[in-house]
Amino acid sequence: MVELALHGGPAAAEGLSFPSWPQCTEQSKENILDALETEAWCRNYSDAEWVDTFEERFSDYQDAEYGIAVSNGTAAIEVALRMLDVHPGDEVIVPPYTFIATASAVTELGAVPIFADIDPDTYNLDADAVAEQVTENTVGVVGVHIAGYPMDFDELLPVVEEHDLFLVEDAAHAQGAEWRGERVGAIGDVGTFSFQASKALSGGEGGMVVTNDDVLAEQGRLVHNIGRMDGKVYRHYELASNMRLSEFQGALLCAQLDDLDDQLATRRRNDERLRAELADIDGISPKPQDDRITARGYCLYDLKYDPEAFDGLSRDDFLEALSAEGVPASKGYVMPMYKQPAFARNVVQARVPANASVPTYRNMFLPGVEEVTSTNISMSHQVLLAEEGGMEAIGHAIRKVAENVDILH
């Protein structure tokens, strides 16, 4: 038995090598320099082209008719909700396992986020749980393709259609993901993407709103650009904020998009290799394979940890030992969203109309998300860009911890 790295032995995954992220490519430098030299640094200039080009390319990539580039993924959700005419006091159903922007964008419009539980196997919204939360004040749902794993449209779409609700796809993690051969984003009413530095398609910051509805698209262009129909004219048709993307980010994102397909192909191959490595290890399981998911996106790679299979070893102790072996893993989102201090009832009540019904979030207990936040192990997407042998090294490290579990208690 080889001594654990935690106790001075050699690291099992010492050879695990993967690229830093984000990546500065030669094409990125060329595009940024071009944007700099044009001096049309804002897309409202007549000769500004990079953001227009990126909108066209990315919306086409995601099988959407229209794309609106915005300053970040949080702004994208806010724009989407404004496009769908969300008003103060409306209720919008959201998942409790996500980045805070999925829910905080709702309160920015004075509406009330209502948390519905998730499926503990996929980490995405559970359609039955969504149906249970619908009231006369419910106007829509914001679902998340968490970690790039598409939500179950076969189950969720009938619920939103039955109750005449909108569906926003928060696809911040899901560039390139497909459901039944169609890229996510415009399967619902509106989709939103993030291009923040950690994402598989990164511009440092940036976001996109996509839709197949021309009326919604026109509204989105209005509300992301200070209520202007024409960016060069001081005529404003709606009170709105400036959420435009800069030409520099448009140029950078065009370059990064050039490499996305090849990177996704590598991640998918390594996903399969890692699944094969984990198949004979009890207590560590990836998300289920689903034939309806014809292509996954990646931002995080989630695994479910069962301490009973490791003789009761806590997740924290497992992660400490695994990290020492050279595998960069974390807990992911550490708590259900309803436990975040920002969702204390008095904080939310200060943002919504006085007569709005606000849940006592701190008293909530949704079993699916409680299970996930206590069992999840997460790795960043760039680990799946590892060189040959990388996934085998991860499997070796996990086996080594399992074989030494008796001395870790």
Known catalytic residue at 349: no
Please, what is the Cα angle at 377 between 362 and 392, to 5 degrees? Answer: 175
SS3 197: coil
Query: E strands along 57-149, which residues?
Result: 66-70, 91-94, 112-115, 138-144
Catalytic choice (234, 235, 280, 406): 234
Percent of the chain past pLDDT 70, that is, above it, reads 99
Q: How large is the average pLDDT for residues 393-406?
A: 96
Known catalytic residue at 196: yes
- The average confidence (pLDDT) of the chain is 96
Known catalytic residue at 199: yes
Q: How large is the average pLDDT for residues 40-69?
A: 93
**Pairing state of beta strands 91-94 and 138-144?**
parallel
Catalytic choice (224, 244, 267, 396): 244
**Residue 232: its pLDDT value, please?**
64
Known catalytic residue at 170: yes
pLDDT bin (cut points 50, 70, 90) of residue 322 is very high
Known catalytic residue at 234: yes
Known catalytic residue at 173: yes
Known catalytic residue at 183: no
pLDDT at 146 over 90: yes
User: In order of start, what are the domains of the chain with their CATH numbers?
Assistant: 26-257 (3.40.640.10)
* Spatial CB neighbours of 263, under 8 Å, sequence gap ≥ 6: 200, 385
pLDDT tens track for 101-131: 999 999 999 999 999 999 999 999 999 999 9
Q: What is the H or E stretch that residue 209 is in?
A: strand 207-211
Q: How large is the average pLDDT for residues 352-366?
A: 96
pLDDT tens track for 4-30: 999 999 999 988 999 999 999 999 999
pLDDT at 393 over 70: yes
